[in-house]
């Protein structure tokens, strides 16, 4: 039996009490000290945990943040003294894209490594921009494996990164002329990208953690050149050094095990590409570029120069950077994919998409829109407890300067950070398999550009309600 | 041990000895009776506080027509305000505002923070409170939005297109809300239900026995159906056999000859809207001894209902399944419950040709006792898209009037029902709305630990004690009464004599162009 890919998740408690959704309003002075106090009868023992410190000084002081909001205490209190309210601190987390619920579910996944499961139906908006305007398909009778949940391991989430020969060429004597493909195979279609904004002193720790997590996950971690120093040699095959913008090639030698390098697009990019090609022909080159209308043309130009891998970085909200509201990465990616297909070059090129990839469903949907691989970045910070408090451009020197970061990411241990990232990716991996399984697709490579296996809002609105619209 | 299809013996002559014969059927009255909140402290949108300055003069009790303040005869003091009935700031414009007229200035009113803690876009706090009101009184509330949610799309952006005057005068007493379920014209009985709604499948194990029997009694009262879900056929359902649909799902839990022979409708569950393509899952904690006995499983083990039917790969395989059921019970109708993939229209046609009487589409935003969040949000299309697609396709195939199209998965209110019918469904199935009527507030922890802390979706003996069967029955009867009242009201205003006349009448609807729900005033005269 072939070896199965398995992600080793391990419960890893957060370093700080999480910010919960609810808080109680408790009118204690009217309490009659009755004998059937609702606080003692909480189904989930939330009040016990919250008052543990009163009985044992070594227990943590803990607000009732684990409250599930069932209202049993509010509705049963003999004198009706309790109310529940939504914690304003919870609502203040994140922004309109990284909503409190996204942050909360990311924390849960980073802590447990498990798929978020809950009761009752869907709770959110009917649809929304970008990823939220796409539903994935399901098949009524086809399942890739006939073993129900027990066959999940046979659904492949592996993807190939690197130049792929489109045909094999042989000499007259049958000798294979085409050089062997240097494909990098990751077992997860998610790379671990650099933080979306400057991280101050925490940045090196994050790089080491990303590298360690990438090894555990059999994927790749993007690490700025300046931070390669702290990474052990045996992690190098999972590390993708990111050259500084504007430099005409790597400063000094690339570490021995490195298999791919990212070159930021810019005036010096061509020089940097040539420098790497001449010094390390074994290394796969990737150009890092923002999504734009002319992305396809740019990619074809670079392709002629021997670069076949591109990392398209949208902003943290998944949009084309720049002023105003650029296209969402879903639209940009569909357009790019179509153009490359029409040019007859799609299969030569690997496209990595990042920016706004914050939930497992985004991975599947970005791939449906035409990406080969995605990359996570903001989510990796949230996995470490980040609340996206300031977002991009927060502070001149970036986040993580001691007290300026509420969760002092720079003081976390590398092992802890790597395990939390691994847990989050493990949960994403399981969810991706659920989505693939529901679609009856057996490997993620086949999902690329499969828009026929998705349901797009604009199509359905036109079909269902097009003739009913009243302005 | 779970029975597989091949292990189930087909009895030689099922018609002769119907197992149902040994259980006398029970009738239930559909009379509306008050069924107030079962908690000591019901809550509403507003909180009324009475301070120690109160002189117990009783003026507030005389003033308030809503019944917030009560001073029973012979009492020196006034009871704690029943603030769930308070209508809020609009009361200040009336001549009976307690806060303004209290001689001791002892009263104050504020938004209840607890009310803001329940609800979400699909079921906003107000809609939950409104559904509670319907379940308590049997009528729609006057001061709460009870018709739609705030999800900003689908049903929540559709509006009923009321004419200024109805094209025909219809007597509300004469409006026909019944629904015929067998349109195939085959030799099987015609089954007509009095309301275009029946209850969704909830298995014993996922919900308490009181919830199951309460649902069955309410549907018996309204001459409709409830569904067992995939968890066996509890003995206590047997007095209601005529109003029970039993489900055959992929795990085949609790499926036996006699369960199939008891009922008038058998439902094949291919997929569930909330977790399409994933199968069912009962967590180990909820597999109590009673549940395990019913499902013939081992106590404490998580139970999986695998996806899909392992013996179905085609319409022909599907037909074989339906034939099996029809053979076991010659008087039963067969319903096929499917999810909403892109080819849902083809699935519906396939179900017709396989011999189904009912095709039941379960949209992706439907309820569940436990499902991965990613599935609930992302997999398969919302029911609002699936209904018109299937309705039009069945019509184009010339078989629309040969099959009953039932929609579920996000039908929250009578208005959702009417919109679904206008889009092309014949009737709907509800589930979450029933749970809300029983006191659910969608805290979404049905699946964890001991289950529902409010005792609805739990088999924990202590938790389920919180709800009594008679109360549950009455709440559901009231809910359906309120729904029927609204359905009749809308049909009369549209000048339609029956719910069947509304089917496919998309001209009775319009769709707001603006994406933003806020752009449309929540309550507008004439847009009820």
Q: pLDDT tens-digit profile of B74-130? A: 999 999 999 899 999 999 999 999 999 999 999 999 999 999 999 999 999 999 999
Using CA atoms in the order B321, B323, B328, B329, what is the torsion angle rounded to 10 degrees? 120
In a domain, B22, yes or no: no
Q: Which of B117, B151, B407, B465 is the best residue to mutate to test the A interface, defined by the most A CB atoms within 10 Å of its own CB?
A: B117
Instruction: Tell me how close the Cα of A169 comes to any Cα of chain B, in angstroms.
Output: 42
- Residue B397's CATH number: 3.20.20.70
* Residue pointed to by tokens 């279609």: A189
Taking CB atoms within 8 Å and a gap of at least 24, the contacts of B6-10 are B8/B255, B8/B256, B8/B257, B9/B257, B10/B257, B10/B324, B10/B327, B10/B328
The DSSP H or E segment spanning B264 is: none
Q: Cβ contacts (< 8 Å) between A361 and chain B: which residues?
A: 374, 377-378
B226 close to B210: Cβ distance less than 8 angstroms = no
Residue in this structure with the two tokens 């409250």, named with its chain if needed: A67
Q: For residue B518, what pLDDT is reported? A: 44
| Closest CA in chain A for residue B460 | A43
ipTM above 0.85, yes or no: yes
Q: Domain holding A453: CATH number?
A: 3.20.20.70
Chain B partners within 8 Å of A135 (Cβ): 364, 378-382
A166 and A80 inside one domain: no
Q: Name the residue among A121, A360, A439 with its Cβ closest to that of B432.
A: A121
The answer on B103 and B230 residing in a single domain is no
A135 vs B: CB within 8 A:
yes
Confidence of residue A53 (pLDDT cuts 50, 70, 90): confident
Indicate if A400 and A268 belong to the same structural domain: yes
CB B34 within 8 A of CB B74: no
| Residue B257 near residue B17, CB atoms below 8 Å | no
Q: Kindly report the nearest CA distance between residue B119 and chain A, in angstroms.
A: 8
Nearest CA-CA partner of A370 in A394, A348, A351: A351
- Tell whether A260 is covered by a domain: yes
Residue A428 sits at the chain B interface (C-beta within 8 Å): no
What integer pLDDT is reported at residue A262 of this predicted model? 96
In percent, the amount of chain A with pLDDT more than 90 equals 67
* Chain-chain contact of A141 with B341 (C-beta, under 8 angstroms): no
- Probe site for chain A from B46, B230, B379 (most A CB atoms < 10 A): B379
Q: Could you tell me the residue range of the domain that residue B63 belongs to?
A: 46-115
Domain end position, chosen among A92, A114, A136: A92
Q: How many CB atoms lie within 10 A of CB A117?
A: 19
Residue A399 domain boundaries: 148-461
In a domain, residue B120? The reply is: no
Q: Is A469 inside any structural domain?
A: no
Condensed to tens digits (0 to 9), the pLDDT of residues B208-231 reads: 999 999 999 999 999 999 999 888
- State the Cα–Cα distance between residues B295 and B303, nearest whole angstrom: 9
CB-based contact (8 Å) between A80 and chain B? yes
Residues B414, B322: one domain?
A: yes
How close does chain B come to A82, measured CA to CA in Å?
9
Indicate whether B247 and B106 sit together in one domain. no
Is A361 part of any domain?
A: yes
Q: Is A13 a domain residue?
A: no
Q: Does position A4 have pLDDT exceeding 80, yes or no?
A: no
B444: left (phi over 0), alpha (psi -120 to 50) or beta: left
B425 and B295: one domain? Answer: yes
If asked whether residues A338 and A447 sit together in one domain, one would say yes
Cβ pairs A/B, distance under 8 A? 259
Does residue A55 share a domain with residue A166?
Answer: no
Question: Do residue A185 and residue A85 come from a single domain?
Answer: no
Provide mean pLDDT across the span A89-115.
93
Q: Could you give the maximum distance between any two Cα atoms of chain B, in Å? A: 81
**Cβ(A315)–Cβ(A332) below 8 Å:** no
* Residues A197-254 pLDDT 10s: 888 788 899 999 999 999 999 999 999 999 999 999 999 999 999 999 888 877 778 8
Same domain? For A301 and A432 the reply is yes
**Does one domain contain both B249 and B387?**
yes
CATH code at position B66? 3.30.70.20
Neighbours of B284 (CB within 10 A): 11
How many domains does one find in chain A? 2
Asked whether residue B34 is domain-assigned, the answer is no
> Do A341 and A265 belong together in one domain?
yes
Residue of A nearest to B390 (CA): A464
Q: Which residues of A touch B364 (CB under 8 A)?
A: 122, 135
A453 vs B342: CB contact, 8 Å cut-off? yes
Continuous H helices in B198-262: 209-221, 257-262
The answer as to whether B107 is a domain residue is: yes
Instruction: Nearest by CB to B152, from A76, A125, A359: name it.
Output: A125
pLDDT per residue as tens digits for the range A370-408: 999 999 999 999 999 998 887 444 545 567 555 567 788
| Of the candidate ranges A47-51, A112-116, B17-21, B195-199, the one whose mean pLDDT is the lowest | B17-21
Q: For residue B340, which of B393, B397, B304 has the smallest C-alpha distance?
A: B393
Q: Which of B115, B132, B150 is the last residue of a domain?
A: B115
In this structure, what DSSP letter does residue B190 have?
P
User: Is the CB of residue A104 less than 8 Å away from at least one CB of chain B?
Assistant: no
* Span between the terminal Cα atoms of chain A, in Å: 61
Whether A157 and A72 map to the same domain: the answer is no
**Residues B194, B80: one domain?**
no
Quick one: pLDDT at residue A402?
55
Is B373 within 8 Å of A105 when comparing Cβ atoms? yes
In a domain, B55, yes or no: yes
A165, A252: one domain: yes
Residue A164 and residue A54 in one domain: no
Q: Are B199 and B240 a contacting pair, CB within 8 Å?
A: no
| Inter-chain touch A455–B381, beta carbons under 8 Å | yes
Q: Looking at the structure, do residues B92 and B231 belong to the same domain, yes or no?
A: no
Partner residue opposite A434 with nearest CB, options B47, B347, B374:
B374
How near does any CA of chain A get to the CA of B20, in Å?
33
Last residue of a domain, one of B115, B142, B176: B115
Residue A287 main-chain phi, psi, to 5 deg = -100, 130
Q: Where are the alpha helices (DSSP H) in B242-355?
A: 257-262, 289-295, 315-328, 344-354
| Contact (CB, 8 A) for B130 and B490 | no
Q: Tell me if B35 is assigned to some domain.
A: no
Shortest distance between the Cα of A147 and any Cα of chain B, in A, equals 8
Position of tokens 């009578």? B414
B99 with B203, same domain: the answer is no
Q: Does A460 touch chain B (CB under 8 A)?
A: yes
Handedness of CA B80, B82, B84, B88 (dihedral sign): negative
Give which of A68, A112, A140, A464 to mutate to test B binding, by max B Cβ within 10 Å: A140
Residue ending a domain, choose from A92, A111, A131: A92
Within a domain: A142: no
C-alpha to C-alpha distance for A291 and A313, rounded to whole angstroms: 6
Instruction: Answer yes or no: are the C-beta atoms of A360 and A437 closer than 8 Å.
Output: no
Of B123, B119, B273, nearest to B200 by C-alpha is B273
3-state secondary structure of B407: strand
CB contact under 8 A, B511 and A469: yes
For residue B1, tell me if it sits in a domain: no
Between chains, do A464 and B384 touch, taking CB under 8 Å as contact? yes
Asked if B308's CB is within 8 angstroms of A141's CB, the reply is yes
Residue A159 structure tokens: 């993807």
**A237 and A322 housed in the same domain:** yes
Question: Which of A70, A92, A114 delimits the end of a domain?
Answer: A92
pLDDT given for residue B2 in this prediction: 43
Are B389 and A119 in contact (CB < 8 Å)? no
Beta strands in B402-451 (DSSP E): 404-408, 427-430
Contact B277 A440 (CB under 8 A): yes
Of the three residues B89, B115, B141, the one that is the final residue of a domain is B115
Handedness of CA B518, B522, B524, B528 (dihedral sign): positive
Would you say residue A421 lies in a domain? Answer: yes
Give chain A's length: 471
Residues A83 and A174 in one domain: no
Contacts of A180 (CB under 8 A, 6+ apart): none
B245 and B347 within one domain: yes
Comparing C-alpha atoms, which of A399, A298, A400, A397 is closest to residue A349? A298
* The residue to which tokens 């990619």 are assigned: A299
Read off the pTM. 0.93
In-domain check, residue A195? yes
Alpha carbon of B394 to those of B387, B391, B413: distances in Å? Answer: 11, 5, 26
- DSSP conformation class of A150: G
pLDDT at site B15:
41
Residue of A468, A469, A470, A471 to mutate for B, most B C-beta atoms under 10 A:
A468
Q: What is the pLDDT of residue A427?
A: 97
At residue A160, does pLDDT exceed 60?
A: yes
Q: How many structural domains is chain B composed of?
A: 2
- Mutate which: A120, A125, A442, vs B, most B CBs within 10 A: A120
Asked if A465's CB is within 8 angstroms of B511's CB, the reply is yes
* B504 lies in some domain: yes
Q: Which of A78, A120, A470 is opposite residue B442, by nearest beta carbon? A: A120
CB contact under 8 A, A125 and B47: no
A434: which chain B residues are within 8 Å (Cβ-Cβ)?
Answer: 278, 372, 374-375
Kindly state whether residue A11 falls inside one of the protein's structural domains.
no
List the pLDDT tens digit at each of the 528 positions of chain B: 444 444 433 334 444 445 555 789 999 999 999 999 999 999 999 999 999 999 999 999 999 999 999 999 999 999 999 989 999 999 999 999 999 999 999 999 999 999 999 999 999 999 999 999 999 999 999 889 999 999 999 999 999 999 999 999 999 999 999 999 999 999 999 999 999 999 999 988 889 999 999 999 999 999 999 999 888 899 999 999 999 999 998 888 888 899 999 999 999 998 888 888 777 777 777 788 888 888 888 888 888 777 777 778 888 889 999 999 999 999 999 999 999 999 999 999 999 999 999 999 999 998 888 889 999 999 999 999 999 999 999 999 999 999 999 999 999 999 999 999 999 999 999 999 999 999 999 999 987 777 899 999 988 889 999 999 999 999 999 999 999 999 999 999 999 999 999 999 999 999 998 755 444 444 333 333
Q: Are residues B96 and B173 in the same domain?
A: no
Determine whether the interchain pair A76/B40 forms a contact, defined as Cβ–Cβ distance below 8 Å.
Answer: yes
The CA distance from B513 to the nearest CA of chain A, in Å, is 5
Radius of gyration over every alpha carbon of chain A, rounded to an integer in angstroms: 25
Residues contacting residue B17 through CB under 8 Å, at least 6 positions apart: none
User: φ, ψ for residue B41 (rounded to 5)?
Assistant: -115, 85
Choose the mutation target among B321, B350, B374, B381 for the interface with A, i.e. most A CBs under 10 Å: B374
Same domain, B253 and B330: yes
Domain check: are B369 and B503 in the same one?
Answer: yes
Whether residue A75 contacts residue B440, with contact meaning beta carbons closer than 8 Å, is answered with no
Mean pLDDT of A77-104: 92
């Amino acid at each position: 039996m072939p070896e199965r890919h398995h992600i080793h998740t391990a419960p890893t408690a957060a370093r700080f009490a999480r910010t919960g959704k609810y808080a109680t309003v408790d009118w204690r002075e009217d309490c009659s000290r009755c004998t059937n106090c609702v606080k003692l009868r909480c189904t989930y023992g939330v009040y016990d945990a919250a008052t543990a410190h009163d009985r044992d000084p070594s227990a943590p002081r803990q607000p009732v943040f684990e409250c599930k909001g069932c209202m049993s205490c509010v509705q049963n209190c003999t004198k009706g003294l309790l109310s529940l309210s939504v914690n304003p601190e919870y609502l203040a987390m994140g922004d309109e894209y990284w909503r409190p619920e996204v942050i909360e579910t990311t924390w849960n996944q980073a802590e447990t490594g498990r798929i978020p499961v809950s009761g009752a139906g869907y709770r959110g908006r009917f649809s929304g921009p970008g990823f939220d305007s796409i539903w994935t398909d399901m098949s009524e009778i086809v399942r890739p494996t006939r073993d129900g949940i027990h066959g999940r391991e046979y659904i492949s989430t592996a993807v190939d990164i690197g130049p792929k020969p489109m045909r094999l060429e042989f000499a007259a004597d049958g000798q294979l002329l085409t050089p062997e493909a240097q494909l990098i195979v990751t077992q997860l279609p998610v790379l671990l990208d650099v933080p979306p904004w400057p991280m101050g002193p925490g940045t090196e720790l994050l790089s080491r953690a990303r590298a360690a997590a990438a090894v555990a996950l059999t994927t790749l971690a993007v690490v700025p050149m300046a931070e390669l120093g702290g990474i052990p040699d045996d992690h190098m095959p999972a590390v993708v050094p990111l050259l500084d913008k504007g430099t005409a090639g790597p400063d000094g030698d690339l570490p021995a095990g490195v298999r791919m390098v990212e070159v930021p697009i810019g005036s010096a990019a061509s020089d940097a590409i040539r420098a790497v090609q001449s010094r390390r022909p074994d290394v796969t080159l990737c150009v890092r570029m923002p999504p734009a209308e002319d992305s396809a043309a740019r990619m074809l130009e670079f392709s002629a120069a021997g670069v076949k891998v591109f990392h398209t970085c949208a902003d943290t909200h998944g949009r084309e950077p720049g002023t105003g509201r650029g296209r969402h990465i879903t639209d940009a990616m569909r357009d790019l994919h179509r153009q490359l297909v029409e040019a007859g070059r799609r299969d030569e090129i690997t496209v990595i998409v990042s920016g706004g990839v914050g939930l497992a469903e985004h991975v599947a949907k970005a791939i449906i829109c035409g990406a080969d691989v995605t990359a996570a970045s903001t989510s990796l910070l949230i996995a470490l407890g980040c609340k996206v408090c300031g977002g991009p451009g927060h502070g001149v020197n970036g986040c993580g300067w001691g007290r300026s970061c509420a969760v002092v990411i720079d003081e976390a241990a590398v092992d802890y950070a790597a395990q939390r990232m691994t847990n989050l990716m493990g949960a994403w991996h399981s969810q991706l398999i659920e989505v693939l399984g529901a679609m009856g697709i057996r490997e993620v490579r086949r999902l690329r550009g499969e828009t026929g296996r998705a349901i797009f809002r604009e199509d359905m609105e036109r079909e269902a309600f097009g003739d009913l619209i009243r302005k | 041990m779970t029975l597989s299809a091949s292990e189930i013996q087909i009895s030689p002559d099922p018609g002769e000895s119907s197992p149902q014969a040994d259980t006398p059927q029970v009738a239930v009255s559909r009379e509306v009776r008050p069924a107030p909140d079962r908690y000591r402290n019901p809550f509403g949108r507003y909180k009324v506080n009475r301070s120690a300055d109160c002189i117990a003069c009783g003026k507030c009790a005389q003033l308030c027509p809503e019944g917030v303040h009560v001073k029973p005869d012979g009492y020196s003091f006034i009871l704690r305000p029943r603030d769930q009935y308070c209508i809020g700031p609009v009361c200040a414009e009336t001549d009976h505002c307690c806060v303004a007229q209290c001689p001791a200035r002892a009263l104050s009113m504020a938004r209840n923070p607890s009310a803001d803690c329940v609800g979400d876009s699909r079921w906003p706090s107000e809609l939950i409170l409104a559904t509670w009101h319907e379940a308590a009184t049997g009528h729609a509330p006057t001061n709460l939005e009870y018709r739609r949610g705030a999800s900003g799309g689908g049903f929540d952006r559709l509006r009923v297109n009321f004419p200024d005057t109805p094209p025909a005068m219809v007597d509300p007493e004469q409006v026909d809300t019944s629904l015929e379920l067998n349109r195939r014209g085959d030799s099987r009985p015609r089954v007509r239900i009095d309301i275009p709604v029946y209850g969704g499948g909830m298995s014993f194990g996922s919900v308490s026995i009181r919830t199951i029997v309460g649902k069955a009694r309410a549907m018996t009262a309204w001459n409709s159906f409830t569904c067992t879900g995939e968890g066996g056929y509890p003995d206590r359902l047997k007095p209601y056999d005529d109003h029970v649909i039993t489900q055959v799902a992929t795990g085949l839990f609790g499926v036996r000859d006699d369960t199939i022979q008891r009922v008038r409708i058998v439902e094949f569950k291919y997929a569930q809207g909330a977790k399409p393509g994933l199968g069912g899952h009962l967590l180990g904690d909820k597999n109590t001894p009673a549940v395990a006995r019913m499902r013939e499983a081992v106590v404490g083990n998580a139970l999986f209902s695998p996806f899909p039917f392992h013996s179905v790969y085609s319409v022909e395989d599907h037909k074989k399944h339906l034939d099996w059921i029809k053979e076991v019970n010659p008087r039963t109708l067969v319903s096929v419950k499917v999810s909403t993939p892109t080819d849902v229209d083809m699935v519906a046609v396939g179900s017709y040709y396989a011999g189904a009487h009912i095709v039941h589409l379960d949209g992706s935003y439907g309820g569940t006792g436990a499902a991965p969040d990613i599935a609930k949000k992302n997999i398969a299309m919302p029911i609002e898209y699936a209904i018109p697609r299937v309705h039009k396709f069945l019509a184009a195939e010339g078989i629309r009037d040969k099959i009953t199209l039932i929609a579920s998965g996000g039908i929250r209110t009578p208005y959702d029902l009417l919109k679904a019918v206008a889009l092309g469904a014949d009737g709907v199935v509800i589930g979450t709305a029933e749970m809300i009527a029983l006191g659910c507030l969608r805290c979404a922890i049905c699946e964890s630990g001991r289950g529902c802390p409010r005792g609805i979706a739990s088999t924990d003996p202590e938790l389920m004690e919180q709800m009594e069967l008679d109360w549950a029955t009455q709440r559901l009867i009231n809910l359906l009464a309120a729904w029927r009242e609204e359905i009749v009201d809308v049909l009369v205003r549209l000048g339609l004599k029956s719910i069947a006349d509304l089917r496919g009448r998309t001209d009775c609807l319009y769709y707001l162009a603006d994406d933003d729900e806020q752009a449309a005033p929540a309550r507008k005269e004439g847009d009820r």
